[in-house]
Amino acid sequence: MRFKKASGRVELAEGTRNPAFRDADGDEPAAEHSAGREDHSARTEDPSAGREDGVAAVVEPEAAVAVVGDEYSQVRPYAGMPKEVLLRYSSQARYRVPREILFWLTVCCTLALVAVTVTVVAVSPRCLSWWQASPVYQVYPRSFKDSDGDGIGDLKGIVEKLDHFLYLNIKSVWISPFYRSPMRDFGYDVEDFRDIDPIFGTMADFENLLAEMHQRGLKLIMDFIPNHTSDRHRWFNLSRTRDPHYEDYYVWADCNSTSPKPNNWVRTVSVFGNSSWTYDEVRGQCYLHQFLKEQPDLNFRNPDVRQEIIDLIRFWLDKGVDGFRMDAVKHILEAEHLRDEPQVYPDRPPESVTTEWDLHHDYTYTQLGLHDLLREFRAEMDAYSREPGRYRYRGPRGRVAMWPAGVPNGRKLGVRNIMVCVWLGRFMVTESYDYHEVEKTMMYYGTRLIKESDFPFNFYLLDLPHNKSGAWAKHLVDLWMANMPLGKWPNWVVGNHDRSRIASSAGPTYVRAINMMLLTLPGTPTTYYGEEIGMENINVTESQIQDPAGKYNASASRDPERSPMQWNDDMNAGFNNKTNVTWLPVHPDYESVNVEVQKADGGSVLSQYRSLSSLRQTALPFLRGWFCYVHADANVFSYVRELDGHRAAYLILLNFGTQSAATDLSSVQELPDQLEVVAATNPVRDGNTVQKSSILTEAGEGLVMQYSTYTRFHPKHPAECFVSEKACLLETIGILYKC
């Protein structure tokens, strides 16, 4: 390589290596080095050499370039050196070796990060679903909030109160039916599954409600009624006129208005006190209805009916609904042969059959093929859970990393900012009252290979008031836990729109303890509106009865537990602040039992509910940990929540008896001698220290006590402990892993 001078400029051209050139590493002859520098100095002394315009051609001395004839000698690298010079020096060991070290170090670090990531994913337990991470709150729309002054709650009213759910740390909201309906059963008799009843608003109101909920990170669970429609539904009107396509959409059987009905089901007094068969004069046959005669049963033996229902599920999923509560699923299929059902007391005459309890429902409940049908529904919902772009809040692979919100006294509760992974799939829960046949209820979980509902509703705690004792409470909890399939997720219900409010059935004394148990048991708790403030049943006179069941039998009315929500001490408890009209009376205690008053009281039922809900979300043992029975007697029910690797564990002790108790847990070696109360139904006891040898509680009192130890209870008591999926915590870095 050589430098050429032309027109006063220095150009780089093709050249040859100077045989006399050697690196400037101290091995170049001093004379040559000195000569080169003198020659270079000589070349830089003439500021105008080679330039006709007299402008000096400056060559920086630091460049250390010596030009000899058509060749050059290079002393050291310089800024702006040509590629050929750079390549010459880059091959030297002092430049090459550091570069290679950095390259391989980068490769190793990258591979290490990939390996760590793969390992963390492989050993991590599966993500919690949103319906596992949050309690479910049931809204009965007629009674939640009235926005237009007609005395009936509506969808706009729910929008007004969405922040109430956030205040309670609740993300999952189940709304009872608001489809277009004649309201013979307040929405469970559907006239049009694709429309909103004008009482509640319009489809635009629903879409706005859904958008507002999603904007706040809330999930909407709709009530879905697959078993029957209203007798005003278009399908039924076409079926009764024997339209070729709709003729078999319902369960029809030959009979007439005077002859005996198709079978002894006629003697079965249904849930609402009506005969199970009704003669239709238009068609000249009887149709089956297991509820009101205005609610004819669909014929799911007809594949067209199945497809209609699947299309309806798709319709609402397309709108962005997050899940469904499937109503009355055990009634969906009936035996095709329509045989007489056996009597419970076969020696009695058929005329003695007057209630549903007088027959064994071998041909009308939980028929063969029912679970296949529900799995079809499940598969449809799972398809929407996987579909990219369909679900607004789904992240990569349906997961989102979510940091739990802080809670008051977070350090005291041992709460750490540990990232929780949440799966944003669609949710399905089934309703089936199977009573003592708990094994039938468990079938709705599906199998290890085929998923059905995420869980069937657990109604056994509704029987808690029947026997006020700690042993009875443990029995009801264990009835579910001992029968639940391995690896499934439990749930708990203490009230709904069909059952008396727990504050009335058990008594106000026990409301706080029941809420404490609901929010500290493993699984998903379901709260019926108003239970968070301790609302009680109202007294309804015969002239005030609205419920169809109550009009048939006043003692069976469900109106008392459906009274308007008590928001404040204003007119109508804030339910309707525009007119003095409510569809049912407001409870007379609304001035002291309402949301606004209890928000201002740190020791209220509402404040306790909120604190426990926050604890459940932020303390890992409640979401991921073991549940172990510790003690149960005539008064007290006690259990532990713990997680392997998590230093903080919790002992919950609840007094469901009728008298005070001193509980001695000295024999439980895994518990330390002293425990700190972090939540109590009596706020005075918050922060107290108790001795495990004598834990004092009054009737209806509950304590959540925290202790710190890595000694776990479950290894030595496997028969007393349950966990849905084993997980351990690497506490130093806050990572959960399978163990």
CB 689 within 8 A of CB 677: yes
The one-letter code for the residue type at 128 is L
Q: Catalytic one among 189, 334, 431, 686?
A: 431
CA atoms within 13 A of residue 95's CA, in its CB half-sphere: 9
First to last CA, the chain: 68
Q: Catalytic one among 146, 327, 452, 536?
A: 327
CB 526 within 8 A of CB 491: yes
Burial level of 105, CB count in 10 A (0-12/13-18/19+)? Answer: exposed
Q: How far apart are CA 730 and CA 736, in angstroms?
A: 6
Among 418, 413, 419, which residue's Cα sits nearest to residue 615?
A: 413
Q: Is 642 a catalytic residue?
A: no
- What would the two tokens of residue 199 be? 């009482």
250 forms beta bridges with: 298
* Per-residue buried b or exposed e for 606-640, using 16+ beta carbons within 10 Å of the residue's own CB: bbbbbbbbbbbbbbbbbbbbbbbbbbbeebbbbbb
Those residues whose C-beta lies under 8 Å from the C-beta of residue 524, and which sit 6 or more positions away, are 131, 132, 134, 135, 136, 455, 489, 490, 491, 492
Q: What are phi and psi of 82, to 5 degrees?
A: -70, 165
Q: How far apart are CA 516 and CA 519, in angstroms?
A: 5
3-state per-residue secondary structure call for 538-565 = CCCCHHHCCCHHHHHCHHHCCHHHHCCC
Q: Is 431 a catalytic residue?
A: yes
422 forms beta bridges with: 128, 400
Dihedral sign for Cα 505, 506, 511, 516, please: negative
Helices (H) and strands (E) in the chain, counts: 19, 31
Q: How far apart are CA 376 and CA 147, in angstroms?
A: 38
- Active-site residue list: 327, 431
